[in-house]
Amino acid sequence: MKTGEHPQSLDNLRPLALLALGRSGADIERLVREVRRSLRRLGKHIVWSDIETALRQAQPRLSDELAWRVSVHEAGHVLVYTLTGIAEVESASIGLNGLGRVTTVANSHLPETEAWLMNSIAATLAGRAAERLVIGDVLAGAGGAAESDLARATEMALAAETRLGFARHRPLLYRSASTASHALTIDDTLAARVDARLTAAEAIATRLIEAHRDRHRAIARRLAAATVVEGDELRAMLDGAVEPDA
């Protein structure tokens, strides 16, 4: 790799790492070989910007409408994760495998209280809440798979009611994850309590996004334009935002 006139640093690698999310090492190796081969025919040496261009070109092209919707969704996650302090956002991106992604690092120093859990569920549901607020409806993308927003939020709410001791009804009664999951399908009372907790958490996300709508839309616009935005820039865009009283 020729570094050119300017020394390379980690700053050069960050956008590449973000664009490469979801790709295997073999995928990246293959892409670098193809870029190097193309440049060699032109008598040029490969530099970091060549790889960045290739990674961007390899991303699926979203329609403007879908890109905006995904940006609104991911900006919701960014805002609620940051304002609740549940996690530190490392990056946000759209277009990866036709979807969006927010990478975070949990703030492990926080006490894992019921309020912490509700904020965690709120941050997980914030993308869906943002879509409803800004666009007026939601896509199925928040659900469907076992690792989806809805699946993870439901699992957290179910844990609160069955094994974390936060239930109002029989809080000391512990049920394993497998037992509780089965019970959810046959116990209407349990299902209602889990649903009520999910609804309350989504309301937290909705209040935060409404209270900071200008910042939320600014993040969404930036993400739609850049496709990948780093955490430092996102935090700067939220600088001075204060979480409203619950």
Q: What is the CATH number of the domain that holds 225?
A: 1.20.58.760
Closest CA to 22 of 95, 104, 128, 125: 95
Amino acid at residue number 146: A
Q: Are 80 and 209 in contact (CB under 8 A)?
A: yes
Same domain as 154, residue 42:
no
Domain boundary among 23, 42, 58: 58
3-state helix, strand, coil in the chain (%, to 5): 60, 10, 30
Residue 134 shares a structural domain with residue 154: yes
**Are residues 233 and 117 part of one domain?**
yes
In a domain, 246, yes or no: no
The verdict on 25 and 98 lying in the same domain is no
Q: Is residue 130 domain-resident?
A: yes
User: What is the span of the domain harbouring residue 181?
Assistant: 64-237
**2, part of any domain:** no
Domain count, the chain: 2
Cα–Cα distance measured from residue 184 to residue 30, given in angstroms and rounded to the nearest whole number = 46
Check the CA dihedral 96-205-68-149 and report its sign.
positive
- The owner of tokens 């329609």 is 63
- Residues 157 and 176 reside in one and the same domain: yes
In a domain, 3, yes or no: no
Do 33 and 103 lie in one domain? The reply is no
Sheet with 228-230, edge to edge strand ranges: 99-106, 87-96, 228-230
176-197, pLDDT tens digit by residue? 998 999 999 999 999 999 999 9
Same domain, yes or no: 82 and 132: yes
Helix (H) or strand (E) holding 199: helix 188-211
Position 146 scores a pLDDT of 83
pTM of the predicted model as reported, rounded to 2 decimal places: 0.79
Sign of the alpha-carbon dihedral angle for 88, 90, 95, 99: negative
Residues 121 and 81 in one domain: yes
Co-location of 95 and 183 in the same domain: yes
Residues 6+ apart with CB under 8 A from 211: 244
End-to-end CA distance of the chain: 53
Give the residue ranges of the chain where pLDDT is below 50. Answer: 1-8, 244-246
The 10s digit of each residue's pLDDT in 12-30 is 566 666 666 666 677 777 8
Boundary of a domain, candidates 20, 37, 58: 58
Domain match, 160 and 233 both: yes
92 inside domain: yes
